[in-house]
Structure 1
Amino acid sequence: MTHATFYIIEDKHLEADSDYLLHFACHQAALSYQQGNKVYLLADNKAQAEQLDEYLWQQEPDNFVPHNLIGEGPRGGSPVEIGWPGLRHSGRRGLLINLGQDTPNFAVTFPQVIDFVPCDENLKQLARERYKAYRLAGIQIQTATAPETP
Structure 2
Amino acid sequence: MPSKINVDFYILDTNSGQKSLLFACRLLEKAYADQQSIYIHTTNKEEADRIDHFLWTYRDDSFLPHHLYQPGEVFPAPIQIGFTETPPSQTTLFNLTRGVPTFYQQFPRIIEIVFSDPSVQQLARERYRYYRDQGCEMTNYKIKANEL
Normalised by the size of structure 2, how large is the TM-score? 0.85
- Which runs of 4 or more aligned residues in structure 1 lie more than 6 Å from their structure 2 counterparts after TM superposition? none
| Corresponding residue for residue 122 of structure 1 | 119
Name structure 1 gaps, 5 residues minimum: none
* Equivalenced residues, count: 144
**What's the CA shift for 1:149?**
4.8
Give the one of 99, 102, 105 matched to 2:102. 105
8 Å contact kept, 1:42–1:98: yes
Greater relative CO (CA pairs within 8 A, separation 6+): 2
Q: Which secondary structure does the structure 1 equivalent of 2:81 belong to?
A: strand
Return the letter of the residue paired with 1:138: G
In structure 2, relative to structure 1, the CA distance for the partners of 1:52 and 1:72 (3 Å cut) is farther
Alignment RMSD, CA only? 2.2
**What's the CA shift for 1:52?**
1.1
Name structure 2 gaps, 5 residues minimum: none
8 Å contact kept, 1:26–1:52: no
| Corresponding residue for residue 64 of structure 1 | 63
What fraction of aligned residue pairs are identical, expressed as a percent? 31
Normalised by the size of structure 1, how large is the TM-score? 0.84
| Corresponding residue for residue 79 of structure 1 | 78
Q: Distance in 2 between matches of 1:75 and 1:129?
A: 36
8 Å contact kept, 1:108–1:137: no
